[in-house]
Amino acid sequence: MFTKILIANRGEIACRVILTARKMGIKTVAVYSEADRDARHVTLADEAVFIGPAASRESYLVADKIIAACKQTGAQAVHPGYGFLSENAGFAKRVEEEGIVFIGPKHYSIAAMGDKIESKKLAGAAGVNCIPGVNDAIDTAEAAVEIAKGIGYPVMIKASAGGGGKGLRVAFNDKEAFEGFTSCKNEARNSFGDDRVFIEKFVEEPRHIEIQLIGDSQGNVLYLNERECSIQRRHQKVIEEAPSPFISDATRKAMGEQAVQLAKAVKYQSAGTVEFVVGKDQSFYFLEMNTRLQVEHPVTECITGLDLVELMIRVAAGEALPLTQAEVKRDGWAMECRINAEDPFRNFLPSTGRLVRFQPPRETMFASDVSKWQGVRVDTGVQDGGEIPMFYDSMIAKLIVHGKDRLEAIAKMREALNGFVIRGVSSNIPFQAALLAHPKFVAGDFNTGFIAENYAKGFRAEDVPHTNMAFLVALAAFVNRCYLARSAAISGQLEGHELRISDDFVVVPVGQVKNAAATPVRVTEFDNKTFASVVTVGGDSYKITSKSRFGQIRLWGTCNDLPFTAQVERGTAKHPLAIRVSHNGAQIDVMVLLPRAAELHALMPYKAPPDMSRYVLSPMPGLLAEVAVQVGQKVQAGERVAVIEAMKMENVLFAMADGVVGKVLAAKGESLTVDQPIVEFV
């Protein structure tokens, strides 16, 4: 067994590998860029080596620097994690040639599966179901149309080197096939330097279901059940679960056995995943093979009780797999939500900056410890006060739950999301909460088009279903009453003028619209010792108790004897007297006033927000990569004005109306905040 390994990665996956290595008694070496000097993975590792500037092409993607770090520290093996160099056959070969063990498949297996066209030919030869189509590169748009006609519409036009949704088009007729081929070829050339394009049948109402594999150097390969990954946004997975609520045992067995056949055909060793597209009739077709550890591996660990990182390390060290196919378990139901630094209410634009508060829900399961089941686990690479840099992907954490069945897993996940406190950057938690509450998701009735179909206009606050908004109002009134009780207990109050607390209040929304509807509430039976009270909203009563301390954002307690977790804060940036309550993805900002104060508040003049239509504003934090206009220039609606870069994404800003540039308010290379003005029109 190795005594020291280097993790050629960062963030959450680097921390995950370090935890298993520590459990196995193996020393770890982290590598870090300029942006990651204070990152969590650097702190967790036994040693850390600086490898260059923040941009990954100058640090995490430079094979020479990784190999030099191995030699400098005496690391005998490299774990590549996922992303970066993890599926780079050239890197794996270089590592092996330098006498260092690559904790992953052999370079020839990576190369065989890395090319989408060649991998399909190999899969077909190995007896794996493949989608009808032409797997050879197509030369012209005219040929593409003829091939598409032969296969039958709809068809999928794909770049051979594509990934992450780039170089992919769906065509339903000749015109779309012609145009899709041309744009696909151009996009592939620009993104990957490889313009080969092929065509295959598009499976309608498809599900994305993948089989987890593990192989050893003795030729043994096992399949560790499947993962359902159909909840995707723009080809990026959002929620993953194991097992799938859709496929039968017979389909699972057939998919698993075909995946094993493919792995054996390429002499696969280590962890890997074979992705399938599954039709509504449970017909399944090979999509591609990921020759690395997947982001969503924890859900498989939960239902099988196996530590996949440990198995990868043991296999790389030459050990045989410690179990047989018959011994692979499938126990309970696991789900994973990817918690990303993005603003779902601003079309999921990246959100970078400092994590002013980062308080995950209480963990009862842990990465690298598979002895604890049916609880909550958080895999993350950040910590309270840490930074979400603009140079890498947007993942803050992975929230994983394990329950007895699917409904219990959904309930645990919703409660865990309620207790996940993130401040300083926006997160997609409200969107995750809405997905988990959607009736079709709960019923298991979804496919890869679920998000596009149900959130076609983007995600808005009204898309968050909350069965009982009155409960949020009651929580605000309860918290306000707790603070009043503390104020009333302060000593030294002038006799005869002590704070007297009424039972009647009015909850007034703030920050929404002028004269928003106010809600009368009654707060009775308040117990100052146990912090319990009965709050009446309309005709409904809520008996609320809580042991949470003052100043805590996370509020635990019971309501009508049922447990709940919510988030409550006093004061917002725009309304210092407001109380903000968040629960199940929904949020309200309110003031809790005495009835007379509420009457006077209704008479206050309404301050309309300033007119910013003359400005081009930055929709997100990021780096201003380009300003395409100058003072005095006439600009037409739709014309390019500026380009902002953040988290591997390039966002082009366009003029919304015709105008003349009056001022350029930000310079190229400047770091921008949300809503910072870039250009002013006159």
Question: Nearest-CA neighbor of 136 among 202, 199, 203, 201?
Answer: 199
Both structure tokens of 12: 């959450």
DSSP helix/strand/coil, 101: strand
Distance from C-alpha of 143 to C-alpha of 178, rounded to nearest angstrom: 9
* Ramachandran angles phi, psi of 337, nearest 5°: -110, 130
Q: Which residues contact 279 (CB under 8 A, 6 or more apart)?
A: 203, 204, 205, 206, 207, 285
> What are the distances in angstroms from CA 488 to CA 500, 534, 571?
7, 19, 20
Q: Which residue has the tokens 């992907």?
A: 393
Give the number of other CB atoms < 10 A from CB of residue 27.
Answer: 17
User: How remote is the C-alpha of 179 from its chain's centroid?
Assistant: 32
Q: Amino acid letter at 282? A: Q
Beta strands in 619-668 (DSSP E): 622-627, 634-635, 640-646, 649-654, 659-664
Q: Is 538 exposed, middle or buried (0-12, 13-18, 19+ CB in 10 A)?
A: exposed
Cross-sheet strand order for the sheet of 236-242: 284-290, 270-278, 207-215, 221-233, 236-242, 333-340, 395-403, 376-380
Phi-psi label, residue 343: left if phi above 0, alpha if psi -120 to 50, beta otherwise? beta
Catalytic one among 288, 301, 342, 569? 288
Beta strands in 298-367 (DSSP E): 333-340, 342-343, 349-350, 353-354, 357-359
Distance from C-alpha of 127 to C-alpha of 109, rounded to nearest angstrom: 17
Both structure tokens of 665: 């308010």
Q: Is 453 a known active-site residue?
A: no
**DSSP label of 657:** S
Both structure tokens of 317: 């060290």
Residues recorded for the chain: 682
Q: Which residues contact 658 (CB under 8 A, 6 or more apart)?
A: 634, 635, 636, 637
Distance from C-alpha of 260 to C-alpha of 466, rounded to nearest angstrom: 44
Element of type H or E holding 184: helix 174-192
> What are the distances in angstroms from CA 454 to CA 42, 208, 280, 641?
41, 18, 19, 32
User: How remote is the C-alpha of 617 from its chain's centroid?
Assistant: 26
Handedness of CA 170, 171, 175, 180 (dihedral sign): positive
Q: Which residue has the tokens 């298993």?
A: 20
The three-point CA angle 342-18-244 to 5° equals 60
Give the number of other CB atoms < 10 A from CB of residue 31.
Answer: 29
CA atoms within 13 A on the CB side of 313: 31
Distance from C-alpha of 539 to C-alpha of 86, rounded to nearest angstrom: 59
Distance from C-alpha of 60 to C-alpha of 11, rounded to nearest angstrom: 12
Q: Amino acid letter at 333? A: W
Distance from C-alpha of 432 to C-alpha of 430, rounded to nearest angstrom: 5
As annotated, the active-site residues are 288
